[in-house]
Structure 1
């Protein structure tokens, strides 16, 4: 069924829920998981303001993914962490194509219709642009 699953992760509660679902699917199907963390200009600026050195930034980003890595290990799931750069939706879709992934699992922030229309949402953009199935977790 699935051989390669991407879970979009940023450390938020929604991304942790998405990771739990991806791990559950991987456990059933034997799929490999790519934990993809997208870093865009806004994320980079925020990271620099919070942490003043590049080692600290990398460490903070990795901390956001620790829970997911622990759960993958506990469940004996094959996984890799990938940091991609650029617009999150574009970067996730590009990585999905390059890795020939079968499924993208992504959390939804639950924007209302006005917020979604004005701001757009990463999950909505991924769902529109991806060539593989996308599972959006609320």
Structure 2
């Protein structure tokens, strides 16, 4: 089974479903699972900060809020975990973390983008699948 799992969350409904799958995996495991939950705050350019009036402190607080529902699910199931909030391009950051910290599995929810949206903005889960050296479980 898996000994070290990275759960990437973004506050979406599919992110909660991914958390529920991780809980099933952890509960079925015959040995302790080292679980890390992570959220990536997308980097924005200075022009985006000005145009959207985004304050860095608000982005940090938003990251904390996005991870809370997933943490509540894990706490309710008595699953121990650590957590991190990262900055950068979500797909690349998650894959790099999975590779550099030698995770056995990445679990991530999909946002359910349509074909045009995927073409224009790309898919975080697709990026993780392409870049991660370990299995990736995508939950929808």
TM over 0.5: yes
Deviation at 1:53, TM superposition (A): 7.0
2-side partners of 1:24 and 1:74: how far apart?
13
Residue 57 of structure 1 deviates from its aligned partner by 4.3
Q: Deviations over 1:12-49 (max 9, x none)?
A: 1111111111122122223122111111224994xx84
Taking a change above 3 Å as real, the CA distance of residues 41 and 57 of structure 1, as seen in their structure-2 partners, is closer
Matched residue, 1:8? 8
Q: Is the 8 A contact 1:32 1:77 kept in 2?
A: no
Q: Does 1:23 align with 2:27?
A: no
- Equivalenced residues, count: 135
Offset at 1:113? 2.6
| Cα deviation 1:41-80 (Å, max 9, x = unaligned) | 24994xx846x572x5433322221121122122221211
Of 99, 114, 117, which aligns to 1:115? 117
Q: Say whether the 8 Å CA contact 1:4–1:101 is kept in structure 2.
A: yes
State the SS of the aligned residue for 2:70.
Answer: helix
Superimposed CA distance per residue, residues 77-129 of structure 1 (whole angstroms, 9 cap, x where no aligned partner): 12111111111011001111122111111111222233323322000111111
User: Quick one: which of 93, 96, 102 aligns to 2:95?
Assistant: 93
How far apart in 1 are the matches of 2:126 and 2:61? 29
**Equivalent pair of 2:5/2:34 in contact (CA under 8 Å):** yes
Unmatched runs of 5 consecutive residues or more in structure 1: none
When structure 1 is superposed on structure 2, of 106-115 and 92-101 the one drifting more is 106-115
With the length of structure 2 as denominator, give the TM-score of the two structures: 0.83
CA RMSD in angstroms comes to: 2.4
Normalising by structure 1, report the TM-score.
Answer: 0.84
